[in-house]
Structure 1
Amino acid sequence: MHGPGQDHDLQLDSDPATTIRMASKDAALPAQGNGSSFDITKDKFNLTTFSGRLQHFFSVTSPLTLFASTSKLVDARKLVDDTEAQFPRDRRRGQYVVSREQAEKYWKAQQLVQSSVHPDTGDVVPLPFRMASFVPTNLLVVAGMLGANTLRSTIFWQWANQSLNVLVNYNNAPATSPLTMTEIGTAYVGATSAALGIAIGMTRGVPHLPVSQGTKLVLGRLVPFFSVATAGVVNLSCMRWKELVEGIPVYYRDEDGERHKIGDSAAAGRRAVGLTAASRILTNIPTLILPPLMLSYLQRKRIVPASGMWAKVADLGLIGTSLLVFLPPALASSPQTSTVRPAALESRFHDVKDKEGRAVEVLEFNKGL
């Protein structure tokens, strides 16, 4: 365990190589010369591209970040805050150039902060509800689902799964539309009830389908994950209903890169929830399709037994690998800070002007995770 200030790996000491520069507005990130210096006011990865977002989410969803102690997180936040306090105010024109060693220390601390701290509130997200916990927590629930052989156990594990979804959605939603405890309770009951109805209906319906026994076997393996994907969208909509009805803040950026709020938009809220729901579905599709089909193939080849403990171990291994590999691409499918043209929102945003009186062409909003 490290106390605050004791983790020397997270010290970004002053260095003659550290410089603040004023450059042209379109200056590129300066991986200059032999790559020995970096402008850390810019994102480590290019978040305007899918490949850049993919690298970013592989970094912040890494389960390895879960092993960091509380004191190490405190040190990381201090390093990030102290470093960013030295950044030039105008980040579009100014640069804060440091050595490779200093950049790596800053990025290491930033990775831990981004994986553990809510970007809007600054609060530490409880460990089980971080995106980095997605694989281990979901594997625990999936293990329970695979072992469920009665209606009662199926109901319990579907309830456990949807309760986990509620807490993940609540802890990772934008902080712009907070819910009261009554609203949280109502949304929780609605989300879990609807999800349980979907899951149990599918589970009980498959055995009565007029298809072959082999097809029923494959469908039976698909049902838990298909019901999870469908119920997850219902769950997300219930927990973020305020965004759908009351809207979320939308902003424009001025020439200096400063954000200015111009109002709340329900149309932007629907886009935010829709984009988040799409990323959840994209996470579940590979898990829904690949592990059951691969397990059936391995069992036909007699590489894995048809039943018993080793069949369940193989199934869990395939599911865990799928979750680990496909979560980052799903999250990277759209930018966290999404953009929209004013004409796509309510009419009051169509003719919005900036502080200089010029027409705003692009607006921004935070879609959440």
Structure 2
Amino acid sequence: MDPNLLYWKSQGQSFLSRVRIWFNLLDPSLLLCSDAQIQGARSLIGGGEDSEKDAAAQTLALSSVHADSGAVLPLVFRPPALMPVAAPLVVASFLPHSSVKPALIWQLLLQSYNAGFNYANRNSSSEQSKTASLKQLLLIAGTVSYATCAGALPQIFINRLGVRSAPVQTFFRSILPIPLSAALAFFSVSTIRIEETETGIQVFDSHGSPVGISKAAGEKAVRETALSRAALFGTTAAVPNLLIFLLNRTRLFQRNSLLVAPLRHISIALILGLMIPVSFSLFPQLGTIKKETLEEELQAAAADGHLFYHRGL
């Protein structure tokens, strides 16, 4: 089992411990480290010592190295890059645009980045090739295209239907984006990582030894990750809108309507930043699957009643 997964097995089995770990791993300053430094940090971990130097190396390896391939993740798709890159895209995507074109452009950028992040951080334990197949590339392109058009639907409805009613505009701009954002985030993970459900992923026994490939574990890993991503984007869409709705009823904001726009932008970025470690922590990175759920040929290996699998991110 990879040293990163061994760490999650010993340290990341409770929700609060995972949140604490992810707050450290999402430090943007980790992006400044070179590939050589990352590989050096990876070579240091697993020695059994608990020095401050080893702790820093462990943090760098966890935030920058793929737990299946052992390769350094692309810079913009490392977990610490999610907040700096995605925040402006999310804020711009939730803006009340005046036409369809800017809504489509910002949705295209956001959905493209989401697809790249989902693919780079997938479970690749059963893959024979390190390069994406033509089928996978077409699937990514189709997912991005569909999610882009679907994400711009509120603006498309407003423009094509000529909506002028304030309550109807509020529905399309503030209410519809909440379930839509959650659904599209769930859809993106489910489709980009569908190969894991079709071919399966590697499972491990309690000693960390690989025992086989399980489709059931692949389905569970993809479903959990999709739910966590839906929680991330659904909450990011819901909380700022609720906050603006409540503040608009106060005298201060009724007299100073110009405060609404900057507060909306700040609250979206703030909620996104808070929800990233929370959503990453909803399910363990090293998940467990019960013996009864496994394929028959793998049940004998589950001596403790379950096996472990890497969930991906």
Q: TM-score, normalization: structure 1?
A: 0.73
Listed as ranges, the gaps of 5+ residues in structure 2 are 1-5
Tell me by how many angstroms 1:330 deviates: 1.2
Distance (Å, rounded) in 2 between the aligned partners of 1:297 and 1:127 = 39
Equivalences for residues 186-205 of structure 1 within 5 A = 186-205=138-157
- Which residue identity lines up with residue 368 of structure 1 in the other structure? G
The count of residues paired between Structure 1 and Structure 2 equals 301
Asked which structure has the greater RCO (Cα within 8 Å, sep 6+), the reply is 2
Distance (Å, rounded) in 2 between the aligned partners of 1:177 and 1:241 = 13
Tell me by how many angstroms 1:147 deviates: 5.8
2:135 is aligned to 183
Answer yes or no: is the 8 Å Cα contact 2:104–2:149 preserved in 1. no
1:250 is aligned to 203
- Structure with larger Rg: 1
Equivalences for residues 265-284 of structure 1 within 5 A = 265-284=214-233
Tell me by how many angstroms 1:276 deviates: 0.2
Question: Structure 2 vs 1, CA of residues 177 and 303 (structure 1 numbering), >3 Å: closer, same or farther?
Answer: farther
Tell me by how many angstroms 1:221 deviates: 2.4
Tell me by how many angstroms 1:324 deviates: 1.2
Answer yes or no: is the 8 Å Cα contact 2:182–2:231 preserved in 1. no
Equivalences for residues 316-335 of structure 1 within 5 A = 316-335=265-284
1:58 is aligned to 23
Distance (Å, rounded) in 2 between the aligned partners of 1:139 and 1:224 = 16
- Which residue identity lines up with residue 122 of structure 1 in the other structure? G
- Which residue identity lines up with residue 141 of structure 1 in the other structure? L
2:103 is aligned to 154
Distance (Å, rounded) in 2 between the aligned partners of 1:63 and 1:270 = 31
2:259 matches 1:315:
no
Question: Structure 2 vs 1, CA of residues 215 and 124 (structure 1 numbering), >3 Å: closer, same or farther?
Answer: same
Tell me by how many angstroms 1:80 deviates: 4.6
Answer yes or no: is the 8 Å Cα contact 1:80–1:106 preserved in 2. no
1:363 is aligned to 307
Question: Structure 2 vs 1, CA of residues 313 and 128 (structure 1 numbering), >3 Å: closer, same or farther?
Answer: farther
Question: Structure 2 vs 1, CA of residues 269 and 79 (structure 1 numbering), >3 Å: closer, same or farther?
Answer: closer
Distance (Å, rounded) in 1 between the aligned partners of 2:251 and 2:73 = 44
Distance (Å, rounded) in 1 between the aligned partners of 2:183 and 2:7 = 38
1:78 is aligned to 40
Question: Structure 2 vs 1, CA of residues 82 and 107 (structure 1 numbering), >3 Å: closer, same or farther?
Answer: closer
2:189 is aligned to 236
Tell me by how many angstroms 1:292 deviates: 1.0
- Which residue identity lines up with residue 212 of structure 2 in the other structure? G
2:247 matches 1:298:
yes
Helix, strand or coil at the partner of 2:288: strand
Question: Structure 2 vs 1, CA of residues 174 and 151 (structure 1 numbering), >3 Å: closer, same or farther?
Answer: same
Deviation by residue 1:54-78 (Cα, 9 ceiling, x = unmatched): 1111111223323x242xx633542
Question: Structure 2 vs 1, CA of residues 138 and 361 (structure 1 numbering), >3 Å: closer, same or farther?
Answer: same
Question: Structure 2 vs 1, CA of residues 180 and 44 (structure 1 numbering), >3 Å: closer, same or farther?
Answer: closer
Helix, strand or coil at the partner of 2:72: coil
Distance (Å, rounded) in 2 between the aligned partners of 1:79 and 1:159 = 36
Helix, strand or coil at the partner of 2:125: coil
- Which residue identity lines up with residue 310 of structure 2 in the other structure? N
Tell me by how many angstroms 1:271 deviates: 0.4
- RMSD after superposition: 2.9
2:90 is aligned to 142
1:213 is aligned to 166
Tell me by how many angstroms 1:345 deviates: 2.0
Answer yes or no: is the 8 Å Cα contact 1:203–1:223 preserved in 2. no
Answer yes or no: is the 8 Å Cα contact 2:8–2:285 preserved in 1. no
Higher helix share: 2
Helix, strand or coil at the partner of 2:114: helix
Distance (Å, rounded) in 2 between the aligned partners of 1:112 and 1:229 = 30
Helix, strand or coil at the partner of 1:249: strand
Deviation by residue 1:25-76 (Cα, 9 ceiling, x = unmatched): xxxxxxxxxxxxxxxx96798312111111111111223323x242xx6335
Question: Structure 2 vs 1, CA of residues 138 and 79 (structure 1 numbering), >3 Å: closer, same or farther?
Answer: closer
Tell me by how many angstroms 1:195 deviates: 1.2
Deviation by residue 1:107-149 (Cα, 9 ceiling, x = unmatched): 1222122112222222222222122122222222124321632
Distance (Å, rounded) in 1 between the aligned partners of 2:173 and 2:297 = 50
Distance (Å, rounded) in 2 between the aligned partners of 1:115 and 1:261 = 23
- Which residue identity lines up with residue 199 of structure 1 in the other structure? G
Deviation by residue 1:272-331 (Cα, 9 ceiling, x = unmatched): 000001111121232121101112333332545435xx5332211101110111211111
Distance (Å, rounded) in 1 between the aligned partners of 2:28 and 2:176 = 27
Distance (Å, rounded) in 2 between the aligned partners of 1:264 and 1:161 = 33
Q: Which runs of 4+ in 1 moved over 6 A?
A: 41-45
